Amino acid sequence: MRAGGDPGYEHTLAGPVTLRGIALHSGRPAEMRLRPAPEGTGIRFRRTDTEGPPIPATLDMVTGSTSCVALGGPRGVRMVEHLLSAAWALGVDNLEVEVSGEELPGLDGSALPIVQAIRQAGLRPQGLPRRLLRVRAPCWVEEGEGCVVALPSGRFAVTCVVTVGPPGPGDMAATYDPDRESYEETIAPARTWGYERDAEALWARGLALGASLDNTLVVGGSGYLNPPRFSNEPARHKVVDLLGDLALLGSRIAGVFVAVRAGHGLHIALARALQAQGG
């Protein structure tokens, strides 16, 4: 999807659009309304069920990264990564997001419905040049078997490697280069995924209460319980998550990223390291 203006300048939505669905973790009905925002303001969330200032989508507002990204603490919002991923990939720099509760709707578990909503609204160019963060030197973070690496480059590209353990298919990888591939076609449709064996433990922690075969790719005792959209769908969804987490830097990015068995925590740690590195 082309921005419709100079790609070196910020863009916002041409008009509002609303999405509704069930929240993946709370299991409650949720709604978010996306509205145009002034240049230079970035992406900001506002809860409509409680009073409080807007919550900017920035690294210093991250208060949780277990199973999803949470911003702004107890009165904040969570499960923001799919929206941030779609907005970043489609070139939406400034956006007001009104949310009916603590969590964004899970929709079909992917970023595709958000992409389609942004396409429906259209984009409007603005007058402020976009910020560009360049990876100046190799940067990496690691924990256990997981790591994320950022390397200097004149372009942006990512590769994600995940292991879908037995009875899953094992190691798999997915790449995304916006100069060569369509985010809407190759990345956005990939759904969140998990193991059937973990369901009760997640429910006990108040997580995945809204997950179902309609919005989650589930690995059961003899393989997938529902058909995957891609042979490497879990790795492609990890690209969705990584893009959403890097979007918290509030910049376009020049650099090549490789994530191996990483999650939101490592993604956020790397983004903070890059922020400290400057660019």
Count CA atoms within 13 Å of residue 232 on its CB side: 18
CB within 8 Å of 221: residues ≥ 6 apart: 167, 196, 197
Residue from 11, 237, 264, 267 carrying the catalytic annotation: 264
CB within 8 Å of 235: residues ≥ 6 apart: 160, 161, 162, 172, 173, 174
SS percent in the chain: helix, strand, coil, step 5: 25, 35, 40
Strands 217-220 and 193-195: parallel
| Interatomic CA distance for residues 274 and 249, integer angstroms | 9
Q: Yes or no: say if 150 and 135 are a contact pair by the CB < 8 Å rule.
A: yes
Span between the terminal Cα atoms of the chain, in Å: 27
Task: Provide the residue type at 131 as one letter.
Answer: R
Does residue 264 carry a catalytic annotation?
yes
Catalytic positions, written as ranges: 264
